[in-house]
Structure formats: C-alpha cells, structure tokens
Amino acid sequence: MNAGERIAIAARYTFVGGGARLSGFLSSLSILGLILAIALLITVLSVMNGFDREMRQRILSLVPHVTLHAYDGADPDSPIAASILEHPEVSALQSFTAFDALFMRGAVIETARGIGLGDYQASGATASDSPMLATLPAETRRRFSDDPRGLILGSGIAERLQAVPGDKLTLVVPELGGSASPRRSKFETVTLHGLLNTQTELDQVTAIVPLAMASQLAGLGDSVSGFQLATTDLFEASRVGWELTAALPPQYYVTNWTMTHGNLYAAVQLSRDLVTILLLSVIAVAAFNVVSSLVLVVFDKRGDIAILRTLGAKPTDVAKIFLWQGAMIGIVGVILGALSGVLLSLAVPSLVDMLETVLGIQFLSTDVYPVSFIPVEILPSDVILVAVVSFVLCLLSALYPARRAARLAPATVLHERST
C-alpha cells in the first residue's frame, strides 16, 4: 500500500463527506474541540500580552524608573544632576517636588498626589516636556507653562470634581509643624488648563503644578524633593539606583518602579503563566478526545481493517492510516483554531466596547485596574507555539489507536462478522 492510498483512506475516515459517517462525525467533534481550545488559548494569551505591553510601554514609560529623594531637599542646579546623567545606563533626568494635596470645587473635595516637574534632560539635551506632559496637546502645555498657578489634573479626579479646563480650583496643602505646633494648611487658587488622560491609574491620583509652586507648597523654598530618572533598561532600575546612591552624598535615598508597580507587573506575569498552563490543559483534554474518537473509529472500522489486511496491507500500513487521520485532525483543528483565535483577539476590544455600551457599565476602571480598556497584542511566537504543541499532542494521541488497529487479527474479525 503506497502513501497516497493511506492518505486517501485516512481522509475518507476523517471528513463527513468522505462517506464514513460515524468516523467523520467523531473526527468533526475532535476537530471542533481542538478549534475551541486553541482559539481560547490564543485569545487569552493575546489579552495578557496586551496587559504586559501596556504595563511596559504605557504605565512604566510615564512613571520614573528610579527616584532619588533628598531628605532635606536638593538644589535642582547642583552638579549632582550632571554627575547622575553621566551614568551610562541613565537615559534621562528630571527634578521634581511631590506633596499631598486636596482639591476643592464648591462642596466637593478630592485628594491627589501633587507633583511639580522641572526640565526634562535626556541624552545631554534639555527638553521642555516630560513623558507625562507629552501626552497633552501642545496648546495645553503652552498655557500651563505660561501660568505660575496652572494645573494639570488627572481625568479621574476632574470627573469626580466635575471640573473642566478653565475652572478655578482651590488647592489645599496641609503643613505639619513640630509636636507642639498646630497643623496649618496652605491655600492656593489654581487654574485647570488640561486633563491627564493616559487611560491608566495615574489619571486617578495625579495633579501636576509648576515646579516653583510645588516647592513652595512643600515647604522646600527653592529646593526640590529629588530627581526622577529613566534608565535604558527598566529591569535594571534597582541595580542602577543602588549604584547611584553609593556615589551620592548620604542625604539621598533611592526608590524604583518595582516598589510601586512591581507587584502589579509580577501579578500580570504570574496570571499569564497560570492561564497558559490552565488552557494548555484544555488543549490536552481536546487531544485526549482525539484518542477516544479514534478508538471508536478503529472499533467501527474493524471489518475494513480486516479486509485491508487480507488484501495485503501490512500492520504498519494500518497504523499509518490512523496516524494520518490524527494528523489531519490536528492540521485542520490547528489552522482553523489559530485563525479563529487571531480573529477573536482582534474583535475583543470592539466586543467589550459594545457590551459596555449596551449594558451601561465599565468592565475596567482605573480605580481598580491599571488601565481602563482591554488591550490586545497578538504575538506570532505564541500562535506558532500553540499550533505546534496542539499538533504534536494530536499526533501523540493517535499512537494508541494506531497501534490497536495494527494489532487486530483479520481472521478473528472476519469470523466475528460472519457469525
């Protein structure tokens, strides 16, 4: 029996239109289970990849990788800033002053993390806008820079305050004195010039004011809280931070993004790994369904197998027929499953938006989640890996039915059928 004949018989057993109704039906069920498992795994992996991408490219591009804090304030024009930029793995530096604040509009009060940002120095040059301010329109940035009492407010805070650009807000900064001093507060009237709408958790907590104003409110005078740094490799931020503090005066201490967002990033990675393992088990179950289906096909086709053997087919020929059937189930299931998974992944954002519109709810809010939308990133490597693993599992699943078919004794089968 040549290869073409074996493939023709396997195709007849695999597809419903081939004339073998029961075996074709069982094969179709196996293919359907494989398609669903592969499509689901690719879709979920694409969503998890999207969250990973948003963490790296959206959130971690806006927050400092390393932050150098000065206990008693730092001079923004000191030579220390230039020495920090000389580190080969520091790509940018920006002075900052941070403070806790309350914003009042009428009877509504909201808390925020106020921050003043200095000039953004990158690669030896000075740029006017930090990555966070770069998300704003040019006209908004110009108005903000020209107003010493200007304000850029996170869209989530502005929504709760029901404030829009052009509104006047009252900024309240508590000032803590010594143990015998009463708590005092500083009040400033600020003008809202723009909304920070990054679709991340930063929109819920951030309020940006001019650096000079922030330093005065924080009680630092002309000093700043410290310096925010961007590194060439964000995963080396911890090591870079410790190297810098070892070379700086003892008044500085360091924090990095892993202290503020590291747990979140680790949770995304862990969720991705756990979901991958879980859904690979779903594919394994679909492959096990191939075993049961092919065993039933072997049982149903015992007579055909016996006739093939009496016509001169070898046991290896019979085994290869069912191996080819397993391969055909795998090929069709993998191709259709991968295609369905890619299309479903591309449709997920639109489907979620449609459901949010119809149901009137928001599935993701930056009050709880790091982003307010469902991100998707389809990686060809993931699609290829899932396809290869699924196909190999299908081939392995066909080994037992193939061996069982090869071991059938033609005389015994024909005797049973005659009686």
* Residues 146-165 pLDDT 10s: 899 999 998 889 888 998 99
Residues 83 and 227 in one domain: yes
Residues 93 and 241 in one domain: yes
- Regarding predicted confidence, which is higher, 185 or 338? 338
**Overall average pLDDT of the 228-237 stretch:** 86
In 106-237, which ranges are E strands?
108-122, 125-127, 150-154, 168-175, 184-196, 206-210, 224-231
Q: What is the pLDDT of residue 180?
A: 46
Residues 248 and 337 in one domain: no
Residues 69 and 52 in one domain: no
Cβ-contact 33, 332 below 8 angstroms: no
Q: What are phi and psi of 368, to 5 degrees?
A: -120, -45
Q: What is the pLDDT of residue 336?
A: 93
Query: Residue 393: what residue type?
Result: L
Query: Residue 46: what residue type?
Result: S
Residues 277 and 412 in one domain: yes
Residues 26 and 142 in one domain: no
What percent of the chain has pLDDT above 70? 87
Residues 142 and 162 in one domain: yes
- Regarding predicted confidence, which is higher, 248 or 16? 248
**Does pLDDT of 18 surpass 60?**
no
Number of domains in the chain: 2
- C-alpha count within 13 angstroms, C-beta hemisphere, residue 62: 20
- Cβ neighbors of 235 (< 8 A, separation 6 or more) are none
| Rounded-to-integer distance, Cα 324 and Cα 319, Å | 9
Q: What is the pLDDT of residue 125?
A: 53
Query: Residue 382: what residue type?
Result: D
Closest CA to 163 of 175, 174, 180, 151: 151
Residues 30 and 81 in one domain: no
pTM of the predicted model, to two decimals?
A: 0.69
- Domain C-terminal end among 236, 257, 278: 257
- Domain C-terminal end among 224, 257, 290: 257
In 197-347, which ranges are E strands?
206-210, 224-231, 252-256
Cβ-contact 43, 260 below 8 angstroms: no
> Any idea which of 70-79, 208-217, 378-387 has the lowest mean pLDDT?
70-79
Tokens of residue 291, six digits: 């075993």
Helix, strand and coil in the chain, % to nearest 5: 60, 20, 20
| Rounded-to-integer distance, Cα 410 and Cα 412, Å | 6
Per-residue confidence band for 179, with pLDDT thresholds at 50, 70 and 90 = very low
Domain of residue 212 covers 64-257
Closest CA to 415 of 299, 294, 302: 302
The DSSP secondary-structure symbol of 86 reads T
Tokens of residue 404, six digits: 């069982």
Residues 243 and 356 in one domain: no
* 186 Cα distance to chain centroid: 41
Residues 234 and 285 in one domain: no
The DSSP secondary-structure symbol of 200 reads B
- Cβ neighbors of 109 (< 8 A, separation 6 or more) are 102, 103
Residues 49 and 139 in one domain: no
Over residues 306-337, the pLDDT tens digits come to: 777 777 777 777 778 878 888 888 888 899 99
- Domain C-terminal end among 206, 241, 257: 257
Residues 218 and 276 in one domain: no
Cβ-contact 309, 410 below 8 angstroms: yes
